[in-house]
Amino acid sequence: MPTDDSPTEHRHRRVTSFRSRRSTLSPGQQSTWDRLWPELGTEARDADGHPAPALDTTAWFGRSAPLVLEIGSGTGTSTLAMAQAEPDIDVIAVEVYRRGLAQLLTGIDRAGVRNIRMIRGDGVDVLEYMVASASLTGVRVFFPDPWPKSRHHKRRLLQPATVALIADRLRPGGVLHAATDHQGYAAHIAEVGDAEPLLRRVGESDPLPISVHRPVTKYERKALAGPDITELVWERRP
């Protein structure tokens, strides 16, 4: 049986980039979840394991605006801060673990933020089935699991096929922004992104349609004495 926070098994099993884990919500988180999730959240797959249909983001957000997809939003610290800084951009946060989404929901509730929606599930499912080609202004992937052991490298999210899928879903001029503190994974991401013909590497100071300046998270502050953070930014070619 799947745990509360494990995804429903795919009919065709795919190597996933995340680890299953159990988590429970506090009473306050559960209350916020029950109140807000039906409006602000959805699942990438239904109870029978079927992919969700394509998103109607205009109806979901109640407006038409540039759209950013964040894959692996964790507890949503960066998600919330960046959405607050860019209220004219709509953000969809994708996360497997319910506790992280619940923490983001709590932050949204406290801050009164209106431009974030959430999907619980596998980011590749979301890209494949829920997002149309050339519909995204940005994709953010911050600190994906590096799977450091060589035998686990196939589990890394940012493989050529996934980067090609991301590039297809970006509008011309749209941005892929990745960040990692694992130098081996940084080299891998750089190689894969640079090899994708639809993408062109750009710098953080280049004029871009969305911000690529992340807030420093608690995770990063704890790791200041550790590895450097590598930021990698590409734009979709015209």
Binding residue per annotation — 122?
yes
Q: One digit per residue, pLDDT tens: the chain, 238 residues?
A: 334 444 333 333 454 554 555 568 889 899 999 999 999 999 999 999 999 999 999 999 999 999 999 999 999 999 999 999 999 999 999 999 999 999 999 999 999 999 999 999 999 999 999 999 999 999 999 999 886 787 868 889 999 999 999 999 999 999 999 999 999 999 999 999 999 999 999 988 899 999 999 987 666 555 555 568 999 999 999 9
Binding residue per annotation — 204?
no
Catalytic residue chosen out of the listed positions 48, 145, 168, 194: 145
Q: Is 145 a catalytic residue?
A: yes
Query: What fold does the segment set 44-236 form as a domain?
Result: Rossmann fold (3.40.50)
Amino acid at 157: L
Amino acid at 130: M
Q: How far apart are CA 132 and CA 135, in angstroms?
A: 6
DSSP labels, 59-73: HHHTS---EEEEE--
118 and 93 Cβ atoms separated by less than 8 Å = yes
Binding residue per annotation — 145?
yes
Amino acid at 198: L
Q: How far apart are CA 117 and CA 134, in angstroms?
A: 19
pTM: 0.87
Binding residue per annotation — 231?
no
Binding residue per annotation — 77?
no
Binding residue per annotation — 180?
no
